[in-house]
Amino acid sequence: MLKKDKVKFIINKLDEFYPEVSPPLNNSNNFTLLIAVLLSANSTDKSVNKVTPKLFKIADSPKKMLNFTYEDLYQTIKPCGLGPAKASNILKLSKILLENHNGNVPPNFDDLEKLPGVGHKTASVVMSQAFGYPAFAVDTHVHRCMYRWGLSSGKNVVQTEKDAKRLFPKDRWSKLHLQIIFYGREYCPAKNFNPNNCPITSVVGRRSLFK
């Protein structure tokens, strides 16, 4: 199957399974979105969504976040994992947002990726969901599915993002990012994966998976 045919099949199948998608992380503004995405690194959306209601009730802005002591913030976000680093980064970036951006989340990749704890994937999610910028954030689910579907080499997430942007229509990037995440969790998991039970991989997947 040619890649263009794979892409068409994948888009149609994802639209069939997930015609409407909503961001999985609870948030109420651009700042809380940024913090929620930062907390989701090496964690699950479920774990983050258990922590953030309490956190954002107290601190839904950089100024309010800085009322936390490091220890109190660490204890609040501890269930998300990597608590020491995340607490430190959240306090540092909150101070930077206040001092350099009038307390606002900057609407560009350069400034976002300069913030402590904010990598390209986190910046891509924020640019997409907060500012409507076409971005294709690549997490472990997207990376895994793109490889299994024969659309990327699987060498690294940088290459996977380039391949995704080259193959899929730009106006679909933000939605496809979420659709592939949901699909990967439900049909194309990392563990105990049987390609024959995957509605997409069974049709377009790499032959090596079936050996």
pTM equals 0.93
1 pLDDT higher than 90:
no
- Res 34 pLDDT > 70: yes
pLDDT tens per residue, range 79-97: 999 999 999 999 999 999 9
pLDDT at 208 over 80: no
Confidence of residue 209 (pLDDT cuts 50, 70, 90): low
What is the rounded average pLDDT for all residues in the chain? Answer: 96
pLDDT band at 64 (very low <50, low <70, confident <90, very high): very high
| Local confidence band at 154 (pLDDT 50, 70, 90 cut-offs) | confident
Stretch 153-162: mean pLDDT: 95
Owner of token pair 């640019």: 127
Kindly state the tokens that stand for 185.
């969790």
Q: Is the pLDDT of residue 210 over 90?
A: no
Q: Is 42 helix (H, G, I), strand (E, B) or coil?
A: coil
Instruction: At 94, list the tokens.
Output: 């909150």
| Coil, strand or helix at 6 | helix
| Residue ranges of domains in the chain, CATH in brackets | 3-21+136-210 (1.10.1670.10), 30-131 (1.10.340.30)
Average pLDDT over residues 55-66: 98
Measured over the CA atoms of residue 106, residue 111, residue 114 and residue 117, the dihedral's sign is positive
Q: How confident is the model at residue 211 (pLDDT cuts 50, 70, 90)?
A: very low
Q: Is it the case that residue 207 has pLDDT exceeding 80?
A: no
Distance between CA 199 and CA 176 in Å, rounded? 16
Burial letters 135-163, b for 16+ CB under 10 A, else e: bbbbbebbbbbbbbbbbbebeebeebbeb
Catalytic residues: 121, 139
Ordered DSSP codes for 196-207: GG-TTHHHHS-G
